[in-house]
Chain A
Amino acid sequence: MAPHLELHALEKRFGATRAVQALTLAVGKGELIGLLGPSGCGKTTTLRMIGGLMPASAGRIVVAGRDVTALPPHQRDMGIVFQNYALFPHMDVAQNLSFGLEMRKIPAAERAARVTRALAMVRLEAFARRKPRELSGGQQQRVALARALVIEPSILLLDEPLSNLDANLREEMRNEIRDIQQRLGITAVFVTHDQSEALAICDRIAVMRLGVLEQLGTPFEIYERPANEFVAGFVGRVNRAPAERLADGRLRLGELLVQGSGTAGPGPVTLMIRPHRIRLGDGALEGPGWNSATGTVTRRTFVGDLLSIEVTVGPATLLVEQHSFAGAPGPAPGDAVQLAWRAEDTLVFPARVPA
Chain B
Amino acid sequence: MSGRSGLLPLLVLPAVAVNLLVFLWPILNLAGLSFREGLPGGGLGTEFTLATWQELAADEFFREILLRSIVMSLSITLLALLAAYPLAFFVHRSDPRWRSILVVACISPLLISAVVRTYGWLVILGDRGFAPAILRGIGIEPGRLVFNMTGVVIGLVEILMPYMILCLLAGFGRLNHTLEEAAASLGAPPFTVFRRIVLPLTLPGILLGCLLTFVLTISSFITPKLLGGGRVLLLATEIYDQAIVTLNWPLAAALSVIALGVFGLAIFVYGRIARAAERAIA
Contacts and interface: CB of A to CB of B under 8 A. Distances in A.
Interface of A: 51-53, 72-80, 82, 84, 86-90, 99-100, 103-104, 131, 147-148, 151
B197 A84 contact: no
Contacts of B176: 84, 86
Contact of B185 (A53, A90, A131): A53
Which of B182, B188, B281 has the most C-beta atoms of chain A within 10 angstroms of its own C-beta?
B182
A152 to B, nearest CB: 12
A74 B188 contact: yes
A104 B187 contact: yes
A303 to B, nearest CB: 37
Interface in B187-226: 187-190, 192, 196-197, 200-201
Contacts of B178: 82, 84, 86
A148 B181 CA distance: 12
11 contacts: A51-B181, A52-B185, A53-B181, A74-B185, A80-B185, A86-B178, A88-B179, A89-B281, A99-B183, A103-B186, A148-B185
Contacts of A87: 182
B195 to A, nearest CB: 12
Interface of B: 174, 176, 178-179, 181-190, 192, 196-197, 200-201, 280-282
Contacts of A104: 187
Contacts of A103: 186-188, 192
A194 B235 CA distance: 67
A89 B190 CA distance: 19
A88 B187 contact: no
Contacts of A82: 178, 181-182
A80 B187 contact: no
B181 A90 contact: no
A79 B280 contact: no
B24 to A, nearest CB: 38
Contacts of A51: 181, 185
Nearest to B184: A73
A244 B192 CA distance: 64
Contact of B280 (A52, A73, A80, A90): A90
A74 B182 contact: no
B29 to A, nearest CB: 45
A100 B183 CA distance: 8
Contacts of B186: 74, 79, 99-100, 103, 147-148, 151
